[in-house]
Amino acid sequence: MKPAPFTYHRARSVSGAVGLLAELGDDAKVIAGGQSLVAMMNFRLARPEHLIDIARIPGLDAIEREDGAALRIGALVTHHAVETADLGPGFRLLPDAMRWIGHLPIRTRGTVGGSLAHADATAEWCLLAVLLDARIVAEGPAGRREIAAADFFQGVFTTALEPDELIVEVVFPRPAPRSALTEFAERKGDFAIVAAAVDLDAARIVLGGVGPVPLRVPRAEAALAAGAAPAEVGAVAAEEIDVRDEPGVSAHYRRGLTRTLVARACEEAQL
């Protein structure tokens, strides 16, 4: 389980990284914390010829709370930095959600930007981004642009990022004082079989593990907006998703987990 050879590049600036990406094309891969990428490289499931290390780029590791209540998190901020940050009552969800991400030694290296770019459909940051209408700020050769989370996740491990774009920041535009994220896996720290995130004020529900990307469930959201009880909201969500039997997890079970977790997230969000 040793990775294939590659050339290592250390980027000193965003423009430098973007320049390398543009130059090296598909053979290059960005590494920040590397907590998913290096494991895949050790299995030789990923074998980039060039690795562009962005971890030393200055200015990407800040957490800022703007006056208008928006929260800006730099791409290189680690899960653990968020876990231990005081983001104010409106954003308590983010530190709370971090305890679902792997384990401490993964959270000390893994980054917000890396998690979004990797785009695992059960990853907490991906759910949170969709739940909270986050805007992903990416920089490419043509400059910066903001991508709405709703448009960012396009398929299994696929995002709206261009090959020569780099995530520099994620913006959470509004606080969510009554929100929660919960998951189920047999073993703590594992990727969830189903994950559910709820923002009561926005009447927003996002699910992980039920599709190729983090999914909203509009009918359940409508029920939530109409004041339905948590159990009922969960039941609607469970009906609404389109899932199939898979080895070890039937569609029926996935629906059941969805029903339970949505209801529990709704209850937790009220606390």
Partner 1 sequence: MTGGAVTGPRFRRDGAWVGASVPRREDPRLLAGRGRFVDDITLPGMLHAQFVRSTVAHGWIRAVDLDEVRAVPGVVAAFSAADLALGDITALLDRPPHEFVPTSMPVLARDKVRFVGEPVAIVIARDPYAAEDGVEAAVVEYEELEPVVGDTAALADGAPLVHAEAPRNTLVDVSLFATEGIDEVFAEAPCVVRVRSKTGRQNALPLETRGVVASWDDRDEQLHVKTNTQIPHQVRTVLARCAGLDEKQVRVTVPDMGGGFGQKCVVGREEIAAAAAALRLRRPVKWIEDRRDALTAAFLAREQRYDVRAAFDADGRILALDADVVCDMGAYSCYPFTAGIEPLMASAEMPSVYRVPAYRVRGRAVTTNKAPTGPYRGVSRPQYVMVVERLMERAARELGLDPVEIRRRNVITVFPYTGVNGITYDPGSYRESLELCERVLREEGWYDLRDTGRVIGIGYACFSERTGYGSGAFAQRRMQVVPGFDISEIRMDVSGTVSVTTGTMSHGQSHETTMAQLVADRLGLDIAQVKVVQGDTDRITYGFGSFASRSITIGGSAVAAAAEKLGAQLKEIAAHLMEVDVDACELDGDGGVRLRDDPDRRLSFAELADVAYLRAHLLPKGVGPGLSATASFDVPGDGTFSNATHGVVVELDPGTGGVEILRYVCVEDCGVAINPKVVDGQCRGGIAQGIAGALFEQVTYDAAGQPLAPSLMEYKVPTASEIPDIAIHHLETPCAFTANGAKGAGEGGTIGAPAAVLNAVNDALRDTGVELDDTPIAREAVFRALEAHRG
Partner 2 sequence: MAEIQLIELTVNGERHDLAVEPRRTLADVLRHDLGLTGTHVGCEHGICGACTVLVDGAPVRACLVFAAQVEDADIRTVESLAAPDGTLSDLQQEFSAHHGLQCGFCTPGFLMLAEGFLAERPDATKEEIREVVASNLCRCTGYQTIVEAVDACAARRRNA
Could you list the residues that contact partner 2 (CB under 8 A)?
Answer: 1-8, 10, 31, 34-35, 38-39, 41-43, 51, 53, 55, 80, 84, 99, 102-106, 108-109, 188-189
| Closest CB to partner 1 among residues 178, 259 | 259
User: What, of partner 1, partner 2, none, does residue 250 touch, CB below 5 to 8 Å by kind?
Assistant: partner 1
* Least Å from the CB of residue 159 to partner 2: 22
| 205 SS3 class | strand
CB-wise, 4 or 222, nearer to partner 2? Answer: 4
Instruction: Please identify, using beta-carbon distances, which residue of 48 and 175 lies nearer to partner 2.
Output: 48
Indicate which of partner 1, partner 2, none lies near residue 214 (CB less than 5 to 8 Å, by partner kind).
none
Secondary structure string (H, E, C) spanning 140-198: ECCEEEEEEHHHHEEECCEECCCCCCEEEEEEECCCCCCEEEEEECCCCCCCCCEEEEE
* Binding site partner of 34, from partner 1, partner 2, none, Cβ cut-off 5-8 A by kind: partner 2
Using the minimum distance from each CB to partner 2, give the nearer residue, 4 or 226: 4
Instruction: List interacting residues with partner 1 (CB under 8 A).
Output: 1-5, 43-44, 184, 186-191, 247-250, 252-253, 256-257, 259-261, 263-264
CA dihedral 69, 75, 77, 78 (to 10 degrees): 120
Nearer to partner 2, 80 or 145 (CB): 80
Closest approach, Cβ 145 to partner 2, in A, equals 28
CB < 8 Å & 24+ apart, contacts of 137-143 = 137/167, 137/168, 137/169, 137/170, 137/171, 138/162, 138/165, 138/166, 138/167, 138/168, 139/14, 139/15, 139/18, 139/165, 139/166, 139/168, 140/18, 140/164, 140/165, 140/166, 141/18, 141/19, 141/22
Q: How far is the CB of 58 from partner 1 (least distance, A)?
A: 32
Q: How far apart are the first and last CA of the chain?
A: 46
Closest contact distance (angstroms) between CB of 75 and partner 2 is 16
